[in-house]
Amino acid sequence: MPMIIAANANAQGSHVGEWRHPDAWDRPASNIENAVRLARIAEEGKLDLLFLADGNGVRNMDKPDLFAATSPSDRPGVFEPVTLLSALAMVTKHVGLVATTTTTYDEPWHVARRFASLDHISGGRAGWNLVTTSNPGDALNFSHDAHVERGDRYERAFEFAEIVKGLWDSWADDAFPQDKASGRFLDPAKVRALNHAGKNFKVAGPLNAPRPPQGHPVVFSAGQSETGKDLSARHADCVFAIEGTIERARVLYKDLKDRLEKYGRSPDSLKILSGVTIIVGETAAEAQRISDELDDLVPPAVGLDYLSKMTGTKMSGYPLDGPFPDLSGEHVGPTGIGKAIVAKALEQKMTVREAYRSILPQMAGNLFKGSAKEVADQMEQWYRQEACDGFMVAAPVVPVGMERFVRLVVPELRRRGLFRTEYEGRTLRDNLGLARPANRSFSPTAKAAE
């Protein structure tokens, strides 16, 4: 199984200063030409998929410096991701198209329908990144006064995912003969209502879409709490994980894979993609120059605001060149990412300035920087030592960083037999080495139970 490589397709890139770099494309806010170009670069490299993180709110209006400068996960001016991927489906043939949608502020019906449509439109290349929403402020856009509490979010997420999959299984694969001669558009024996009635949802079904080409679009998930990991083990095909060191990534990898048995799944049925920012140059010195140029585009006020955002703790009171404060006992932000940042800053005895500079390009994830050989060495090490099955690559500066990654690193990985030279199959599942799920409404056991 080749290494999986996903492209983070955020138009503002992954580094806070990145959009200002002279090589970055102009006017990245909601710009379709840019998105098309990035999709083509990914497909030329035969990368597995484009990945769009997402939220449903404008963030950081209480942090004026960061708000004005914007950081990559703020996304104040972006396309609705499934809409964007539907457009990209028409200008690509092979690359997978994965969008983030929340289970906390959306409805299972809408999500099942949207991703079934994207799977049909793209000929089986759709993926849904299931999140429970990291930004508490999103709640205010959905008739809530506060973010739904984590336990309730996850309880809803489990039920939500079950319903979405049930809706995707509404119709047998051959339910739509559309036979002009006989007049049978569909076969009434090949549809099942869902009739779900649970704690959070009542959904009758069936879905108004034929079964998706992949059976189920590929399900990603991205939570790192205990319940988040259980949700992945129960429902996900892929996990987007962020860990700052290979040791911690190996622990997370094993933990996730070990959880699968409980759900009757094999270790191969869940792929773990580690978030990494890759800064590659023709030489290590060129990579370092790009990296320095990027860091210098971020003034300290923006850096501190960014650190506050990521840790969920106001950092502006701490001296820039003093030691990073021990926040390990505190609640650090709404996601596991904040905890990972604090752990790394304390472990490596960073100052506050060093801490924010260290997260500029990669949040709490990893940074692989250097020549193509050096970057490929690190990717190979993580892959071979079971720290991940592949990578979610962000490559500043967009788009030249992704072009450079495809031109320099991908051939080096191929030379080592680690990455594909041609797409293996037609669908995203085929390329990821994931089986097409049986239809639970029409499997032999479902028939026997009727």
Ligand X SMILES: Cc1cc2nc3c(=O)[nH]c(=O)nc-3n(C[C@H](O)[C@H](O)[C@H](O)COP(=O)(O)O)c2cc1C
Residues at the site binding ligand X, with contacts judged by CB under 6 A? 53-55, 100, 102, 131-135, 222-225, 228, 240, 242, 275, 335-337
Task: State the nearest-atom distance from the C-beta of 228 to ligand X, in Å.
Answer: 3
Q: Which is nearer to ligand X, 110 or 373 (CB)?
A: 110
Does residue 22 have a cis peptide bond before it, meaning omega lies within 30 degrees of 0?
no
Does an H or E element contain 50, and which? strand 49-52
Minimal CB distance to ligand X: which residue? 228
Start-end of H helices in 203-299: 226-235, 246-259, 284-296
Task: State the nearest-atom distance from the C-beta of 332 to ligand X, in Å.
Answer: 11
CB 50 within 8 A of CB 38: yes
Task: State the nearest-atom distance from the C-beta of 92 to ligand X, in Å.
Answer: 21
Cα–Cα distances in Å, from 409 out to 42, 214, 365, 366, 375?
A: 13, 30, 19, 16, 7
Task: State the nearest-atom distance from the C-beta of 183 to ligand X, in Å.
Answer: 46
Task: State the nearest-atom distance from the C-beta of 341 to ligand X, in Å.
Answer: 12
Q: Which is nearer to ligand X, 157 or 432 (CB)?
A: 157
Start-end of H helices in 105-225: 108-122, 150-168
Q: Which is nearer to ligand X, 157 or 376 (CB)?
A: 157
Q: Which is nearer to ligand X, 54 or 169 (CB)?
A: 54
Q: Which is nearer to ligand X, 194 or 337 (CB)?
A: 337
> Distance between CA 162 and CA 400 in Å, rounded?
40
Task: State the nearest-atom distance from the C-beta of 53 to ligand X, in Å.
Answer: 3
Start-end of H helices in 297-409: 300-311, 336-347, 352-359, 372-384, 400-404
Q: Which is nearer to ligand X, 215 or 312 (CB)?
A: 312
Q: Which is nearer to ligand X, 335 or 439 (CB)?
A: 335
Q: Which is nearer to ligand X, 209 or 392 (CB)?
A: 392
Task: State the nearest-atom distance from the C-beta of 239 to ligand X, in Å.
Answer: 8
Task: State the nearest-atom distance from the C-beta of 173 to ligand X, in Å.
Answer: 31
Cβ contacts of 234 within 8 Å, gap of 6 or more = 158, 161, 263
Q: Which two tokens stand for residue 424?
A: 């293996």
Question: Strand pairing of 126-131 and 196-197?
Answer: unpaired
CB 256 within 8 A of CB 272: yes
Note the maximum CA span of the chain: 79
Q: Which two tokens stand for residue 391?
A: 């990578």
CB 204 within 8 A of CB 195: yes
CA atoms within 13 A on the CB side of 116: 23
